C-alpha cells in the first residue's frame, strides 16, 4: 500500500504567499470513505511560533475548521508534575494516542477538511526531550518510539505541513506578551516555555 508524500513549507510566520498544492500520487486509503476534496493542513512549530494565529487566519480564509491541541484535557498532567519520572511514559503515550485519534478523525470524519494545530509528527520531539533530560528511561523511550512507528503505518499524511521557523527568543517574547490565561496553558507539559531552548 503506497503512502503519499506530504509537502512541508517552512515560513517565518507570514502565510500570505504560501502555495497550497495537493499531492498527485493518490491517497493510499480507500477514498470512497473520504471526501476527496477535503484539505488537511498541519501547522508545526514551537510554542510561541504563531501556530494558533496562522490556524485562525487559514480557517477563515479557507472556511475549514481547526483541530486544536487539547492540553487542558490531559488527565495525567497533574500526576506528571507531582512525579515526572513515574508518569512521563504514560502521559506521553496518552498524548500520542490523542493525536492519533485526532489525526484519523480528520482523515475519515471531516468532509470539508481540517487545519491541525500541531501534528502527530512532532510528538516524538517531546518524548526525546523527556529522555534526554533523564525523566523518561531508555526502556520506556524505546517502547514509545516503537509504538509511534507502528502508528505511522496507519496514517495518511496531511496534504501540506506548514512549519513556522522562529528563534527561541522570539517565541519567548511572544509568550510574554500574551494574557495570563494563555501563559498558564502554555506552561503545562514538556513543551513548556522553559524547554523552548532545548527543542
Distances (CA, A) of 55 to 31, 35, 58: 26, 21, 5
Cβ–Cβ < 8 Å for 43, 54 = yes
Distances (CA, A) of 96 to 2, 53, 71, 150, 161: 24, 24, 12, 12, 18
**Pure H helices in the chain:** 51-62, 77-82, 84-109, 123-132, 138-152, 168-177, 180-186
Beta bridge partners of 44: 163
Residues labelled as active-site residues: 117
SS (H, E, C) 16-35: CCCCCCCCCCCCCCCHHHCC
Amino acid at each position: 500500500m503506497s503512502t503519499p508524500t506530504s509537502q512541508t513549507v517552512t515560513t517565518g510566520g507570514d502565510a500570505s504567499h504560501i502555495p497550497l498544492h495537493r499531492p498527485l500520487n493518490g491517497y493510499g486509503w480507500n477514498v470512497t470513505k473520504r471526501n476527496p476534496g477535503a484539505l488537511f493542513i498541519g501547522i508545526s512549530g514551537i510554542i510561541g511560533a504563531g501556530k494558533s494565529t496562522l490556524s485562525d487566519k487559514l480557517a477563515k480564509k479557507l472556511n475549514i475548521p481547526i483541530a486544536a491541541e487539547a492540553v487542558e484535557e490531559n488527565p495525567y498532567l497533574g500526576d506528571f508534575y507531582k512525579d515526572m519520572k513515574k508518569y512521563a511514559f504514560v502521559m506521553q503515550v496518552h498524548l500520542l494516542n490523542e493525536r492519533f485519534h485526532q489525526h484519523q478523525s480528520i482523515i475519515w470524519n471531516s468532509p470539508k477538511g481540517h487545519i491541525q494545530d500541531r501534528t502527530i509528527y512532532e510528538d516524538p520531539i517531546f518524548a526525546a526531550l523527556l529522555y534526554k533530560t533523564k525523566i523518561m528511561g531508555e526502556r520506556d523511550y524505546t517502547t514509545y518510539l516503537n509504538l509511534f512507528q507502528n502508528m505511522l503505518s496507519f496514517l495518511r499524511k496531511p496534504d501540506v505541513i506548514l512549519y513556522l521557523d522562529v528563534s527561541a527568543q522570539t517565541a519567548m517574547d511572544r509568550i510574554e506578551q500574551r494574557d495570563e490565561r494563555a501563559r498558564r496553558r502554555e506552561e503545562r507539559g514538556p513543551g513548556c516555555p522553559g524547554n523552548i531552548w532545548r527543542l
